[in-house]
Amino acid sequence: MSERTATIASRVGLHARPAAIFAGAVGALDLEVTIGLEGDPIDDAMDASSILSLMSLGAGHGQVVVLRAEGAGADEALESLVAILETDHDAAE
């Protein structure tokens, strides 16, 4: 199983727009990806393709989350997902 950590960069945390962007990216993958707060038990990890799960996770700006996936291409997929989480999608354009 592949695992990566990411620090939430969006100023409002993993809510609304950032959650939708991230869930869409996970949904486009042919992998099951889970997400959980760093330090939480692995059993508490949630489906990373679910916007509701992402928002209920309550990950705020600066918090670290753990992403896990298994299967072909998991390492590369997780790297791309980390990049999404570590981008401030709420920044003024």
Domain with 70 in it: what CATH number? 3.30.1340.10
Residue 75 maps to a domain:
yes
Residue 40: domain span: 2-85
Residue 90 maps to a domain:
no
> What pLDDT does residue 50 have?
97
Q: Mind telling me the catalytic residues?
A: 15
pTM of the model: 0.94
Roughly what angle, to the nearest 10 degrees, separates helices 16-27 and 74-85?
170
Residue 24 maps to a domain:
yes
pLDDT tens over the chain, length 93 residues: 999 999 999 999 999 899 999 999 999 999 999 999 999 999 999 999 999 999 999 999 999 999 999 999 999 999 999 999 999 987 765
**Residue 60 DSSP class:** P
Q: How many domains does the chain have?
A: 1
User: In this structure, are residues 26 and 48 in contact, taking their beta carbons and an 8 Å threshold?
Assistant: yes
Q: Residue 48: phi, psi to the nearest 5?
A: -75, -10
Please give the angle made by the CA atoms of 68, 70 and 73, to the nearest 5 degrees: 105
